[in-house]
Structure 1
Amino acid sequence: MEKMVVVVFDSESGAYNGLNAIKQLHQQADLAVFAVAVIAKDADGTVNVRQSADPGPIGTLFGACLGGLIGILAGPAGVAAGMTGGYVGGAMGDLDRMGINLEFLDDVSRVLTPGKAALVAHVDEYWTTPLDTAMQPLGGTVFRKVRSEVVDEQIDRDIRETQAELQALQEEYDAAAAEQKAKIQAKMDATRTKLQTKIDAANKWMKDAEQQAESKVAVLKDQAKAASDKQKAQIEKQVNEIQANLAKRQEKLKQSAASVREALTV
């Protein structure tokens, strides 16, 4: 199961010990690490990245999310709780793309106080015990958030709402007097342009998702080389899940695109 994991330590040295420990867990195939970083909160509340790896397309998204994470965690403890909404686009930025909500960030911000550091990782965790067992003697407090495809849902909803808007305008156009049709037609043209922009954005989002899935599969297959037979079976299961999830998302986008093409030809 894909998760964003944050482990808070009392010091940077603790966070680096945690980094070594999670790398060891990856080598042992107890979990898969797709991207990882160490951040620290200075005495003045500033949060900075101390170390980060960038494994291709996964690292690109992870880096963007890390920036959003730092922006939120740089505030005082509990600041996230005072922000409006469950998912706030302006403040959250690319964190939405990882399915990270304000409740999770609020929990982390209450523990990541000035002078402390944290390990931030995008992982595929098969079970929680190995990470908890590794971090506990190092003094790490573990926070987890299961990844969800929030953006897929947002994109699909935006496309359907814009299609409904276009349909309503078409019905208004059909019933309008001749002198009103030109104004309504202009609105329809603008809505068609908006709809095409949304489907173009959805296609780009899916292309990024395909690249990320390919990178994750490569990480897992490389990990499987040194894994036990039992671990290989688990890794193969994870690979199949990633590929099946991607295929499901591709099919959903394909259906949306076909519906949009039909709407744009009316």
Structure 2
Amino acid sequence: MTNLIIASFKEDTQAIEASQKLNELETIGDITIYERVLVRKKADGTTELVQTDTTEGLTTLSGMTIGTLIGALAGPVGMLAGMLTGTLAGAAMEVDDYGFAEDFVSKAADHLQPGTIAIIAEVEEDNNIFIDDSLNPLGATLTRSEVNYELDKYSDEELDQLDEDIAEQRAKLKTAAADKKAKIDKKIADLKEKRKETLAEWKEKAKEAASDVKESVKDRKIARIRNKIEKHQKKISDLESKLQEAIGKQPEVQAAVH
């Protein structure tokens, strides 16, 4: 499941350690990190983007660098970071395009209180327990929402296939011999880059479409819910097939009566 998470902390050291924990989880194949940024809310209420520095801990990015970085993020991490830092230009990608829970953005803003720092990340996780068990001991306040991309049919199917390919490689990483891990890591990195390019293309198409036609909020919500239902139905069907295989039975096939 692809989720957007925001994990906020009271101390920079906690956020740095948490970021390292996420790296460890990805290294052993428990999660996949698609995008990640760190955001700090200062005591005066202003918000800034920061990055990990091996010598100084965390380094604040300049305003120009922030805009460049956020512009390079094609997915929901860039959108949320842009909203929280006030650097999001235009409305090419709206919240509904990602299928967030309706209150997710407001919850994210509430958790980023003055004097706190947060990790915003888009991750693929089979179970919440891996991230929760790693970050909660560090004092994290965690909020997550499933991401359901509202792409056109072709792009949506392409993205799903890329996610499945990445998950397959991640599973191999867990049992691979030490001398095979580098090759698998390279494969995962290539697939993640292709996924990012797919989202960037969608972002450009969304900009063009926005100038021609604007769907109502209601219509978009209905489409998003239907899309989510279809995806869950497919997952259930796939799981039922695997269950039948596991217990040694052939799936029952009912002939359609016309």
What's the TM-score once normalised by structure 2's chain length? 0.51
Determine the structure 1 residue equivalent to 2:13. Answer: 13
Q: 1:41 to 1:74 in 2, by over 3 A?
A: same
| C-alpha deviation, 1:43, in angstroms | 2.7
Cα deviation, 1:8-64, whole Å, max 9, x if unaligned, reads 111232212111111111122222222222221223333233239xxxxxx988545
Determine the structure 2 residue equivalent to 1:73. Answer: 84
Structure exhibiting the larger radius of gyration computed from Cα positions: 1
* Conserved? CA contact 1:29–1:223, under 8 Å: yes
Tell me the C-alpha RMSD between the 2 structures.
3.6
Determine the structure 1 residue equivalent to 2:147. Answer: 147
* Conserved? CA contact 1:7–1:143, under 8 Å: yes
Q: 1:60 to 1:30 in 2, by over 3 A?
A: farther
Read off the aligned partner of 1:126 and give its amino acid letter: D
* Conserved? CA contact 1:41–1:116, under 8 Å: yes
Determine the structure 2 residue equivalent to 1:123. Answer: 123
Read off the aligned partner of 1:48 and give its amino acid letter: E
SS in 1 for 2:174: coil
CA–CA separation in structure 2 for the residues paired with 1:9 and 1:107: 15
5 Å-filtered alignment, 1:89-168, equals: 93-149=93-149, 151-152=150-151
5 Å-filtered alignment, 1:183-262, equals: 202=152, 206-207=154-155, 209=156, 212-213=159-160, 215-228=162-175
Read off the aligned partner of 2:119 and give its amino acid letter: L
* Conserved? CA contact 1:34–1:219, under 8 Å: no
CA–CA separation in structure 1 for the residues paired with 2:158 and 2:71: 11
Read off the aligned partner of 2:127 and give its amino acid letter: W
| C-alpha deviation, 1:138, in angstroms | 0.9
SS in 2 for 1:225: helix
CA–CA separation in structure 2 for the residues paired with 1:129 and 1:8: 17
SS in 2 for 1:127: coil
CA–CA separation in structure 1 for the residues paired with 2:78 and 2:174: 33
| C-alpha deviation, 1:140, in angstroms | 0.8
Is there any run of 5+ residues in structure 1 with no aligned partner, and where? 53-58, 76-89, 153-201, 230-244, 250-266
Q: Between Structure 1 and Structure 2, how many residues are aligned?
A: 161
* Conserved? CA contact 1:73–1:105, under 8 Å: no
Q: 1:143 to 1:228 in 2, by over 3 A?
A: same
* Identity between Structure 1 and Structure 2 (%): 24
Q: 1:60 to 1:124 in 2, by over 3 A?
A: farther
CA–CA separation in structure 2 for the residues paired with 1:92 and 1:40: 25
Determine the structure 2 residue equivalent to 1:29. Answer: 29
* Conserved? CA contact 2:101–2:146, under 8 Å: no
Q: 1:73 to 1:130 in 2, by over 3 A?
A: same
Read off the aligned partner of 1:133 and give its amino acid letter: D
Determine the structure 1 residue equivalent to 2:49. Answer: 49
Q: 1:145 to 1:62 in 2, by over 3 A?
A: farther
